[in-house]
Amino acid sequence: MAKPADGGNLKSDRRYSNTRGAVAITAWAGVLLVALVVSLTMGRYGIPVGTLGTLLRLRASGAVPTDTALLQAYNILFLVRIPRLFLSALTGAALALSGAAYQNIFRNPMVSPDILGVTTGAGVGAAVGILISASTFFIHVFAFGLGLGAVLLVMLVARLVSKDRANTVVLVLTGMVVNALFQAVLSFTKYVADTSTKLPEITFWLMGSFAKSGNYANVRLLAVVFVVGALPLYLLRWRINILSFGDEESRAMGLNPRQIRTVVILCSTLLTATCASLCGSIQWVGLIIPHIARLMVGANNKYLFPVSILGGGAFMLVVDDFARTIPGELPVGVLTAFVGAPLFIYMLFRGKKELF
């Protein structure tokens, strides 16, 4: 058979490596790292880089600072800031990855991880929890349970409607219906909520924030969920590509598209429902980060998924830096929309050719 025109091993190695993808992954890993360090210093209580070094060295040696000012910085850094940063980075990564996977299986770059009702479901769960004055733990459990429940309901109804034909359009339509239904329940809980105590709490929850849930227990939980949910998506990333050609072509290429789609939906829902139950409703990350990643490394999930994970983490850290630093603590979900919407329009202008 014919050999590649440039022959020789070194050169042909280059023929099969995606330099742009590898560079982008490294670059975004760098961006994430820088964002993490910058975020450590930022906040209403600023910690200069020099002090940061001192504190980290102290921590490593197991000592506790004796100086009062230093002790305050130490406590803020290790008890508040670090868990919050990890929580926000993991959330950004999880949402962006779910979004990238969803866009692929629904064959539509306009899809976000909320499309099957997970965030609205979680919102209802949290609102009900708040309404009955449940403990934080049970608010999280309700939110997670109903987030998951909404998606399972969508899958069940879609399966009954489309019988043996697996139809993503039916899935999306059912998602819209269930979303609307849960939205109505949510409005109802707001309507009956006590306007001076419960309603503000529900409203604040719906806007999303890392302020309340930034502790090590939640970080550990989200980290475990991230591994469980993201690993299958990451390993399946090449096959998920093929699903953008539709079910018939995927089957003819030897895949079982329905099986892959189910795995993707379950993993993404696990990730999104956990994020939503811990941090409330945070939109836009799952929509725009995969877009930006696609502009940089192309459509192939082999590079798109890692870049979405890293970019999502970095984006969330930066947005939360603003949320934390602005006096009065802005809800991060509001900021993601403020930043995300204009960015998205800019992308539409710039990226027409590569996106559509």
Each residue 33-72 as x (binds another protein by CB under 8 A) or -, in order, gives ----------------------------------------
- H-assigned helices in 42-135: 49-61, 68-75, 82-105, 118-131
161 binds another protein (CB under 8 A): no
**Quick one: 250 or 283, whose CB is closer to another protein?**
250
Both tokens of residue 335?
A: 């900021």
294 binds another protein (CB under 8 A): yes
d(C-alpha 28, C-alpha 12), whole Å: 27
**Quick one: 51 or 244, whose CB is closer to another protein?**
244
CB of 229 to another protein, least distance (A): 15
Residues numbered 179 to 238 that lie near another protein (CB under 8 A) are 235-238
Close Cβ partners of 343 (under 8 Å, ≥ 6 residues apart)? 288, 292
**Quick one: 158 or 242, whose CB is closer to another protein?**
242
162 binds another protein (CB under 8 A): no
> Are 96 and 290 in contact, with CB atoms under 8 Å apart?
yes
Single-letter amino acid, residue 312: G
Contact pick of 249, 326, 342, 345 for another protein (by CB under 8 A): 249
Helix (H, G, I), strand (E, B) or coil at 190: helix
d(C-alpha 55, C-alpha 72), whole Å: 11
CA 240 to mean position of chain CA atoms: 18
CB of 19 to another protein, least distance (A): 12
CB of 251 to another protein, least distance (A): 5
d(C-alpha 199, C-alpha 203), whole Å: 6
> Where on the chain is the footprint of another protein (CB under 8 A)?
1-2, 4-5, 15-16, 103-104, 107-109, 235-239, 241-242, 244-246, 248-249, 251-256, 294, 298-300, 302, 353-356
